[in-house]
Structure 1
Amino acid sequence: MRSTSGSQLPSRLLRGLVCALALGMAPLSPALADEAEVDQQIDNLLGDPAIFKTTITDLQERVANEDSIAFSAFVDYPITVTINGKRRTIRSAEEFEPLYHDIVTPEIADVIVSQDYGSLFVNGDGIMFGDGQVWMNGICLDDACSEMEARIITLQAAE
């Protein structure tokens, strides 16, 4: 674009603004792309990504608030965990809740709370938090699997 005087200034100014905007937005793009990629992987392998995203956000909030009762509702039972070096199968939320601090160690709590959605690892086995301390998958609520909830299927300390 030329000005009436024939100068290239407006064109250079426009290009400069476009470059500045592109550079300013660049740090946001990878995160958004990563979240979109995670959504696509979940959609392809596990089900509706909105269910997982909502559950993960809610889970992180509950862990940050140390809400053991709410957390126990996110778990798919029975679940086998390690408490003080011994394997134990927990069969219900009522059994899990009083053991919350023995199972959800500070390390596991930190992994859950600090997990970035766009950095999740997704495969056919579910969604992995951290280095595998927590795994989540879709659990069918009916025989046709027309309804599903995202639940924790594995809780384990890193080795």
Structure 2
Amino acid sequence: MSKITEVKRKESKLEVQTYIDRLKYAIKSGSVTINFQKDRNVDQGRNKKYTNRYTMGQLFPDEDEVEALKRELSLLTVEEYIETVKDTRFPKRSEMRVFGKQYSGDDVYIKIRVELVSIAHASGDSFIMVMSFHYSEWDFKERDFPYKKV
């Protein structure tokens, strides 16, 4: 019997825009560390097309992954927001945001978490954990995006 370890919710459009603005500010400030999970335990036995390693290699073959991620994360929009997820196994960690984006007609699933390294320096050092940046295993539907313009 599996336990539910994630609580999902939809944030308001303003909350999502504020999150994206802060994300972009952290990236542009240069005081952010990006940790990308290139190889994940959940990818064991998964079709390689739906892994972070494969997707990054296909989409950005000749680029530094961290620089490509910085650019792509700074281009995220409210319209690409899907949901906010809290991992109940780690209650002190910040929530994750899920986005969906198309690259050459293929849907890409993006899940990130932003952590402040130091509360005393809240305007500075941040840590962005990119858990997922891979082709989506399902086709996105319009209803997946609460703020997408139709």
Task: Give the alignment's TM-score, normalised by structure 2.
Answer: 0.37
| Structure index of larger Rg | 1
Task: Specify which structure has the bigger relative contact order, considering alpha-carbon pairs within 8 angstroms and separated by 6 or more residues.
Answer: 2
- Judging by fraction of residues, say which structure has more strand: 2
Task: Give the alignment's TM-score, normalised by structure 1.
Answer: 0.35
